[in-house]
Amino acid sequence: MAATPSISNIQQELLKLYSSNIAEADLLNIKRYLAKYFATKAIDEADQIWEERGYDNDLMGKWLN
C-alpha cells in the first residue's frame, strides 16, 4: 500500500484561509496577488536567463523575422 503524501506548506496555509469565510472582494484580491507574485517570479527568472545568455531586443527581432 502506498503512503499518503502529506500536504505542503502552501496547502496548510490555504486550508487555514478556507476555514474562515472571507468576502468575495478579498478572495479576488488574494487571487490577483498570487497571480502577480508568480508572474513576477517567472519574469525575474526569464530576465536572469536573458542576462546569462546575452539576449537582447535586436536578437529577439531577428528570431521573429
Distance from the first to the final alpha carbon of the chain: 55
Query: What distances in angstroms separate CA 4 from CA 1, 7, 12, one per listed residue?
Result: 9, 9, 16
| pLDDT of amino acid 33 | 95
| pLDDT of amino acid 50 | 94
When pLDDT is averaged across residues 40-59 and rounded to a whole number, the result is 95
Query: Coil, helix or strand for 11?
Result: helix
Q: Residue 4 is which amino acid?
A: T
- Examine the pLDDT at 1 and tell me if it is beyond 80: no
Domain ranges of the chain: 23-64
pLDDT for 15-40, tens place per residue? 887 788 888 998 899 889 999 999 99
Cα–Cα distance measured from residue 51 to residue 10, given in angstroms and rounded to the nearest whole number: 31
Question: Which range among 4-13, 23-32, 39-48 shows the weakest confidence by mean pLDDT?
Answer: 4-13
